Structure 1
Amino acid sequence: MKSVFTLSCSRLALLAAFGLAMSFTQASAADLGGNCCADLEERIAELEATTARKGNRKVSLTISGWVNEAVYFWDDGSQRNAYVGTNSLEQSRVKFSGEAKIANGYSAGYTLEIGVQGNPSNKWDQTGPSSTDANSPNNSLIVRKSNWWLKSKDFGKLTVGLEGSATYHLLDDADGVNTRNYSDAQAAAVAQGRFQLRSGGAQVGGTAIRWNDILRGADNGTSGQNGRRNIVRYDSPTILGFVLTASWGEDDQTGVALTYKEKWGDFNILAKGGWEKSTDENLTGCAPFSATGATREDCEWWGGAATIQHAPTGLYVYGGYGQTIDHGVELISAAAESKSDLWFIQGGIEQKWLPLGKTTVFGEYRHDNLGSRTGKTFAVDGGASGYVHDGDINFWAAGIVQNIDAAAMDLYVIYRHADGDLTNSAGDTASLDAFDMVITGARIQF
């Protein structure tokens, strides 16, 4: 009798649970307005509206980028301050890219990259952290890249649109360690950007001549490399570690470059070299200059850089050379110095001492031999006024970059120092006050 009674109780319990579940389901359906499927479809539509989707099922869509913000402590010898803003060396950005397979070994794709800046670090000066460049204001978006491409496994890649030229980041991209985004070849020039030069605690010659007025080069005051342009570009397939790049565009710019990446025993090797020429009057890095009433431009540059790293120890050396030849200044004065060049060297160690990720410790030196900048004039101690004829600038830096692998994040602290002298066409020389800066920030990728 006991076992029958227990079984009956169990059946009653199951029936009660089933009835309770049915009543709950009916109540839930009633709460959804009597049509649960319609509400479910509405919710799915809402999620789709707020989710990145492919425009079609043939071409992929990938969204990536990073945020790079930092605090800058600076001292120009007579004034000091601290600013917060977007690190313009590798500004915050969003990248949209995609690819579609055409046939076996052939594909097509696109790149659309938008730069995002709060207070751009290379546009502020002693007057405050707001941008002093009307063409690059605070809290703005910049189209960095917009292009389509065709790629063949055997024949290489053809790109059309806004993209880096053959010598784009020629010296920077030869940096094979984790200083590439924080202290590469052009970092010294970008850091000081539009800060005004000081000599004896005052503006040089009483005029607002800035660091990027005297540092030459087609891109970010760095001789030997170019920027992003509207071009047709070709990249060859990799052959024995080499990739050949050629580009043409704007009005007119033509260049070639060669990249080499390989491992020799315990050593990782990365090297780049290239040459480019421009007759484009809108290329602000070399001109325009007015000669005999006409705007003329004729500029060329070349350079090379490499990184050699001993993989077991993490010790490395990264260095290079770049030169700009501005034939435009020769049209204004036969005495003008048409050549500007620089050389730099960085050494350090990169090891995973912490479980967080790799740590990179480094020191570097860059020296610039300045050419003429005829559009900028100054006088020294009441002497005759003359255009910037030449000069010598020294940059020192040291820092540490700590990778946090789990968060795709890098933390960095970098000290920078600059000094030198500037000579005008009258033969007078101004000794520049030292400029010191400490940069600390982080870049997080997505």
Structure 2
Amino acid sequence: MTQKLVAPLAVAATAALALPAAAELKYENATGGSVKIYGQFSPAYQSVDDGQDRKNTWVDNAHSNTRVGLWVRQPDAGGEFSFNFETALGLRSSDGVSQTFTPNGAEWDRTKLRKIDFAYTSNSWGKISAGQGSMATDGVANADLGSNGMTTYNGIPDFAGDFLFRGPNGALSGVSISDAFTSLDGGRRARIRYDTPSFAGFSLSAAWGKEVLSKTNNDEYYDVALRYANDFNGTEVTGAIGFSRRDPETGGPNVDDTIGSFNVKLQSGLVFTVAGGSRKNSGSYGYGKVGYEADWLAAGATSFAVDYYRGSDFVVSGSESTAYGIGINQQVDSLNTQFYLGYRRHEYSEPGTDYADIDAILVGARWKF
């Protein structure tokens, strides 16, 4: 590790160690209901080399950003009513910095709202949700049983998504990492969603929604997802497949995405993840990750992971996008804090044109309360 990275890691570690291990902020009533306040702080130091210049910036890690939230739960004889409010704080995001732009330290607007979600979970017929929250395919492609989500997972643009590739002449192109790499995973919108009960580990979800947080997007979104989760004598297995459709208000062609993932976590600590997806007439990709978790330190679990992404045709026909990364994460249970260091290389080419690779490093900590 270079001297430039040692200093930021030491600062992040010192800051997190100075924070107390917060007691749970929860109130319970006499009828089994509860109100809980929660949140997290995710400072990171980002260093990006685009093949010509290097930019170093303090950021908020977009893999799991700084946020606060509120859970209200109230059971009744037939199930449970719940309300979840959650918002990011609008700190400078790792996916919002580029060679030509550095966001302000903190800018909150309504797009930072993550959840304003009302739900009722029945003991017999499933769950109905309404409000700003996860569509049915949210998490289908990005599912992961490992503990390396702050550095290595399928959301490639979260690392340094707004940085632009440089062309053969060294000039910045109009192609960003976010343009060339996507998981096609579903998002959060104002929606109505239904989830069936689990049958032999399988559950089905369906949703309809609109992007109400954007003033310029009045499209309609529909999606459906099938999930599976089970435990076989200590071996955890999850899988999911989903289909989503975006119906443009302008009457243009629908945007249809098909995505899926499969995950296995062995008792030995090995974790395997594969995922993939395609957008009709507009590109496809495959993703794989191998991780390992062990309790080597009394402080908490240590985890490593390496991953690989290969996409094609997302920017122009014949374009190729390749990324690979490595990450190490150390949990400190007494502080509810995870320290991490991650590296990712991004490669992009078009027919007849190769662009300079972009190397990025993230080092930081996430403290939860």
Instruction: Answer yes or no: same fold by TM over 0.5.
Output: yes
Once the two structures are superposed, the pairs formed by residues 34-433 of structure 1 within 5 Å of their partners are 60-101=34-75, 103-130=76-103, 138-140=106-108, 142-173=112-143, 175-186=144-155, 188-200=156-168, 202-203=170-171, 207-215=173-181, 221-223=182-184, 225-250=185-210, 251-281=219-249, 296-311=252-267, 313-325=268-280, 338-372=281-315, 388-423=316-351, 429-433=352-356
2:366 is aligned to 443
Q: Greater CA radius of gyration, 1 or 2?
A: 1
Q: Distance in 2 between matches of 1:350 and 1:370?
A: 35
Higher relative contact order, structure no. (Cα contacts within 8 Å, ≥ 6 residues apart): 2
Does the CA contact (< 8 Å) of 1:360 and 1:400 recur in 2? yes
Does the CA contact (< 8 Å) of 1:77 and 1:201 recur in 2? no
Does the CA contact (< 8 Å) of 2:142 and 2:183 recur in 1? no
1:54 offset after TM fit, Å? 7.3
Offset from partner CA, 1:173-220 (integer Å, 9 cap, x none): 2x001023432211x22222111120235235xx533222344xxxxx
Offset from partner CA, 1:253-278 (integer Å, 9 cap, x none): 22111221111234211211111111
Q: TM-score, normalised by structure 2?
A: 0.84
1:249 offset after TM fit, Å? 1.9
Q: Distance in 2 between matches of 1:356 and 1:56?
A: 34
- Structure 2 letter corresponding to 1:436: D
Q: Distance in 2 between matches of 1:53 and 1:180?
A: 26
Q: Distance in 2 between matches of 1:76 and 1:129?
A: 16
1:402 offset after TM fit, Å? 0.7
- Structure 1 letter corresponding to 2:264: I
The verdict on how the C-alpha distance between 1:53 and 1:75 changes in structure 2, with shifts beyond 3 A counting, is closer
1:407 offset after TM fit, Å? 1.2
Does the CA contact (< 8 Å) of 1:172 and 1:180 recur in 2? no
Q: Distance in 1 between matches of 2:294 and 2:205?
A: 32
1:121 offset after TM fit, Å? 1.3
Give the SS at the match of 1:83.
strand
- Structure 2 letter corresponding to 1:167: T
Gaps of 5+ in 2: 1-24, 211-218
Q: Distance in 1 between matches of 2:342 and 2:336?
A: 20
Does the CA contact (< 8 Å) of 1:106 and 1:151 recur in 2? yes
Give the SS at the match of 1:163.
strand
Does the CA contact (< 8 Å) of 2:48 and 2:359 recur in 1? yes
Does the CA contact (< 8 Å) of 1:196 and 1:203 recur in 2? no
Q: Distance in 2 between matches of 1:152 and 1:209?
A: 47
- Structure 1 letter corresponding to 2:278: Q
Offset from partner CA, 1:39-96 (integer Å, 9 cap, x none): xxxxxxxxxxxxx897998763211121111001110000012110111121111111
Offset from partner CA, 1:310-363 (integer Å, 9 cap, x none): 21x2112111111112xxxxxxxxxxxx23111111112111111111111111
Q: Distance in 2 between matches of 1:180 and 1:166?
A: 21
Q: Distance in 1 between matches of 2:64 and 2:237?
A: 23
Q: Distance in 2 between matches of 1:390 and 1:61?
A: 52
Does the CA contact (< 8 Å) of 2:151 and 2:326 recur in 1? no
Q: CA RMSD, aligned part only?
A: 2.2
Does the CA contact (< 8 Å) of 1:201 and 1:433 recur in 2? no
Q: Distance in 1 between matches of 2:345 and 2:53?
A: 15
2:6 is aligned to none
The verdict on how the C-alpha distance between 1:55 and 1:261 changes in structure 2, with shifts beyond 3 A counting, is closer
- Percent identity between matched residues is 22
As a proportion of its length, which structure holds more helix?
Answer: 1
Q: Distance in 1 between matches of 2:26 and 2:294?
A: 39
Offset from partner CA, 1:161-181 (integer Å, 9 cap, x none): 1111011121112x0010234
1:377 is aligned to none
Moved over 4 A (4+): 52-59
1:420 offset after TM fit, Å? 2.5
- Structure 2 letter corresponding to 1:84: W
Q: TM-score, normalised by structure 1?
A: 0.70
Q: Distance in 1 between matches of 2:232 and 2:169?
A: 51
1:146 offset after TM fit, Å? 0.6
1:436 offset after TM fit, Å? 0.4
- Structure 1 letter corresponding to 2:273: Y
Give the SS at the match of 1:112.
strand
Does the CA contact (< 8 Å) of 2:153 and 2:307 recur in 1? no
